[in-house]
Structure 1
Amino acid sequence: MDEIVKAAIAKWPNVPHCYGWLGLDARGNWYLRDDNAQAAGAFCNPLKGVDPVQKLASKGSLLEHEKLISFIQRNYECEDAGSLKGQWFFQNGPQRVYVELEATPFIWRIGSAPDFEVSSHTGQTVRAQRCVVDEHGRLYLETELGFGLVHSLDMLNAADALESGLWVPQDLLTRDLPQRFGYVRSPQALQSA
């Protein structure tokens, strides 16, 4: 966490948390979700039965400002205790902005053979500890940093890693992943419940 953020927390310790305003999609892109986007529906709408125009509207605005994205990614963390455990957030100065996840807290990029280097959407290099495949054929990795989905553009490299025996996938259902790996896809939905 940035030192300036730590100083802001110390100076203003009681700033209310923010829910629903920031989303991370299945490709590691950040979205700002204003009132209109939130009114259009949940960020992580299931694909089945959702109008594509509504789904796009509910995502919000794609963040493209590199310095803002870098700031978010440096200050992206997970609640590790209490009733908020497993909820990911961006610490924006004194305010904690909880993140809506389309898929998982991390999106992994996979390098080519022979190293198959794994890095997160936040730019950190990690080591895969466990490999999971769901009923839709999506590939996930658990690392020392956390749990995440392999980016769809890197599936060829991931397939090569699997064929080489580097990773042995375990079959799990998508609906079981958040509880099994300790993350919350929609902190906003928990607040509404």
Structure 2
Amino acid sequence: MEDWVRRALQKWPNVPALYGWLRLDRRGRWRIRGEIITRPQIIDTINRNYAADARGRWFFQNGPQRGYVSLDHAPLVLRSDGAGLITHTGLAVTRPQAAYLDADGTLLLATEHGPGALDDHDFDWLLDHLSCADANVDEAALAAALAQPSGTQTPLSLRIGATTLPLFRLDFDAAPQVLGFVRDPQPDA
């Protein structure tokens, strides 16, 4: 978080949080009340001040006010930058910890920055980094992995840099609990 945000929190510690006005869509675009935010300065500010609380609710700390973010898929959207993966906020993924594939073929990763879903524009990257018993993955192997029940290990693995991770099937609805995040944060009762 930026210094100006920390100073504002010290000066006004009890500003109520906002819910339902900011959303992260499946492509990693910030939306305010449904409209895509396009101004680079605003996007950069949100990206630098985006974090999660202890309960897995992701938020944008806007000075003293916390705006909780509704998530279309996962808290981070991952993209290939040619050398590896980066988050939609610009952070390099260097320590992936677990890999999952949902029923639609979306890759979900537990990373050092939090849980992320691979942008569907990078599906070719995914196919290039999957293997099955040290061989390339064909359509039949991918279809078999997608057909497995949620929570089971597939015969596929994912190579990211020097790391190879087993690939597990995980249903969309189960991802928040398994990966520790909240898709639609709500105020405390």
TM-score where L is the length of structure 1? 0.78
Point out 4+ residue stretches in structure 1 off by more than 3 angstroms. Answer: 190-193
SS in 2 for 1:97: strand
Report the Cα offset of residue 130 of structure 1.
1.6
Matches within 5 A, 1:85-104: 85-104=55-74
Which has more strand, going by share of residues?
Answer: 2
TM-score where L is the length of structure 2? 0.79
Match of 1:170 in 2: 168
Deviations 1:44-80 (A, max 9, x none): xxxxxxxxxxxxxxxx110000010000000000001
Matches within 5 A, 1:130-141: 130-141=98-109
Task: Name the CA distance, whole Å, in 1 between partners of 2:12 and 2:172.
Answer: 39
Query: Does 2:75 match 1:105?
Result: yes
Which of 86, 93, 118 is matched with 1:119 structurally?
Answer: 86
SS in 2 for 1:168: strand
Which has more helix, going by share of residues?
Answer: 1
Matches within 5 A, 1:128-167: 128-163=96-131, 166=159, 167=165
- Unaligned runs of 5+ residues in structure 1 are 34-59
CA contact (8 A) 1:111 1:157 kept: no
- Unaligned runs of 5+ residues in structure 2 are 137-157, 160-164
Match of 2:6 in 1: 6
Task: Name the CA distance, whole Å, in 2 between partners of 1:102 and 1:173.
Answer: 14
Task: Name the CA distance, whole Å, in 2 between partners of 1:28 and 1:70.
Answer: 13
Report sequence identity in percent.
41
Match of 1:40 in 2: none
SS in 2 for 1:71: helix
Match of 1:69 in 2: 43
The one-letter code sitting in structure 1 at the alignment partner of 2:187 is Q
Tell me the matched-pair count: 158
Task: Name the CA distance, whole Å, in 2 between partners of 1:21 and 1:170.
Answer: 33
Task: Name the CA distance, whole Å, in 1 between partners of 2:67 and 2:105.
Answer: 31
Task: Name the CA distance, whole Å, in 1 between partners of 2:188 and 2:71.
Answer: 16
Report the Cα offset of residue 182 of structure 1.
0.7
